Amino acid sequence: MAGGVAHDFNNMLAVVLGRAEILLRRVNDPEVTRGLEIIRRAAMDGRPHRSAAPGVHPGSPHARVGAVDLGQVLNDVLELTRPRWETEAQSRGIFYEVRIEGRPLPPVSGVSEELREAFMNLLVNALEAMPNGGRFIFRVERQGDYVTVAAQDDGHGIPERIRERIFAPFFTTKGPQRTGLGLSVAWGS
């Protein structure tokens, strides 16, 4: 059954990707081009990755790891989520300040799509913890041979009684409309 769902989802993404690429060839407006590039990137991230071996899920240890521009990944996250934290929120009178702090960094070893998904899940969870608006910051920093990314927000925090369970797959406090996979995916990336 999961294979059938994945197949159908991949077919839908192929349509989205194909249409976005056709429109990209036809438009001259930089703002429209930027929006179509975001749609294209999201569709590409959702497809099975060609860099993985056939039949290997991109999240498995066998997915191709390469040099990743972490600054670009974080900028992509802000652009992919902008409709939620800016356009949609402002239409309801809610304002978020979302930004990245830190100097440009050397490339890191990783899988761009997985990192983008993990950081997107962190940002979306933070927005949900700030229903009346607030501030979210990704802080990037080089510490010796390592690069760290810290997320800070003005949200209400996580109650002590559930902290131990937040990374468990399918655990959610947000009701049946949610999967409870966001932080689990972020933890596994």
pLDDT band at 25 (very low <50, low <70, confident <90, very high): confident
Where are the domains positioned within the chain? 1-48, 63-156
Q: What is the mean pLDDT of residues 113-141?
A: 91
More confident of the two residues 157 and 107: 107
Tell me: pLDDT of 65 over 60. yes
The domain 63-156 having CATH identifier 2.40.160.20: the answer here is: no
Tell me: pLDDT of 187 over 90. no
pLDDT band at 52 (very low <50, low <70, confident <90, very high): very low
What was the pLDDT predicted at 70?
Answer: 93
d(CA 136, CA 119): 12
The pTM of the whole model exceeds 0.85: no
